[in-house]
Structures are given as C-alpha cells and as structure tokens.
C-alpha cells in the first residue's frame, strides 16, 4: 500500500491462524511457493525488483517424517546468510541497494 506520494506505507498480510487453529496444514511431499507481485510504474523491468516475506510457526504432524536439512544446498546457504545479515541490522540497507533501479 502506498500513500499519495507513492511511498510504501504497508503491505498486505494474510493470517492463517486463529484462537481455534494453528494454521495451514502442510505436508512434506508438497513444494510451497511464495509469489510476489509489485507495482512498477516505470514501464521497464527492474532487475530483482520484487520482495515478499513469509513467517510463522511450524508444527509438524505427530510422527511425520520430513526431509533432513542439507547444509550444502546453495539455496539453504543463501537463506542462512541473509538471516544472519538480518540479525545484524544490515539486511534492509543491503536489499535497498540491491533493488535500486539504475
């Protein structure tokens, strides 16, 4: 959501929990994806110009077997590095520079 000058002031949230339930049921065999749509008034492609986030509590079914984490996986390594950077307060500045439109 933007204000009258086009500055981002918030983004939509979807909550999949309530006092009566823990959220969306997830299963090990399914690949979950986050899709991001962004408003680009320039009419040009902005390289890496989208951002989305997902967060939440994960409670596996009792007795469910999930794949083990593979620390050698490049996506895992990139996510871990981004998480560590975010904890140091540097992530937002890094992301803003990365998403700049030259």
| Residue 40 host element (H or E) | none
* pTM: predicted TM-score of the whole model, two decimal places: 0.36
Q: What is the pLDDT of residues 5-58, one digit of tens each?
A: 877 777 666 666 666 666 777 788 888 776 666 777 787 777 766 666 667 777
| pLDDT one-digit tens code per residue, 48-96 | 666 666 677 777 788 888 888 899 999 889 988 988 887 665 444 445 4
* Cβ count within 10 A of residue 24: 10
Tokens of residue 93, six digits: 């500045």
Residue 35 CA to residue 25 CA, distance in Å, equals 19
C-alpha distance from residue 11 to each of 49, 54, 66, 72, 77 (Å) = 15, 12, 32, 33, 27
Residue 80, φ and ψ in degrees, nearest 5: -60, -45
């Amino acid at each position: 959501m933007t204000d009258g000058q086009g500055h981002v002031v918030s983004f939509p949230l979807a909550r999949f929990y309530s006092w009566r339930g823990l959220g969306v049921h997830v299963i090990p065999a399914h690949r979950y994806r986050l899709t991001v749509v962004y408003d680009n008034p320039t009419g040009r492609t902005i390289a890496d110009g989208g951002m989305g986030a997902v967060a939440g509590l994960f409670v596996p079914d009792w007795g469910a077997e999930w794949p083990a984490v593979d620390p050698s996986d490049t996506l895992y390594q990139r996510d871990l590095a981004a998480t560590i950077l975010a904890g140091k307060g540097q992530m937002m500045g890094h992301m803003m520079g990365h998403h700049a439109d030259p």
